[in-house]
Amino acid sequence: MKELVEYLVCALVEHPDAVQVSLTNDENAVTCHVVVHAEDVGRIIGRQGRIAKAIRNVVSAAAYRQGKRVFVDIQS
């Protein structure tokens, strides 16, 4: 899961070396904390959150196949 999120985010940002992805596991869900460079936050969120929603949809579909729930948290 971490590799998928990191691949998607690094493809979109100007500073891929500043991308950090960490996972937090709970009983029912996994939370992906994504930290990007301050200049790249707008690129990841997109207009009206469309890109962030698309990233969440792709990751959720991959997690569904594994029987998990995933939340993506974007931070700067």
pLDDT in tens, 3-37: 999 999 999 999 999 999 999 998 889 999 999 99
Burial readout 24-54 (b: 16 or more C-beta within 10 A, e: otherwise): eeeeeebebebebbeebeeebbeeeeebbee
Find all residues with CB under 8 Å of 28, minimum gap 6, and list them: 69
Find all residues with CB under 8 Å of 49, minimum gap 6, and list them: none
Return the DSSP state at 40.
Answer: G
Average pLDDT for residues 30-56, to the nearest whole number? 95
Arithmetic mean of pLDDT over the chain = 93
Return the DSSP state at 27.
Answer: S
The pLDDT, as a whole number, for residue 47 is: 94
Architecture of domain 2-75: 2-Layer Sandwich (3.30)
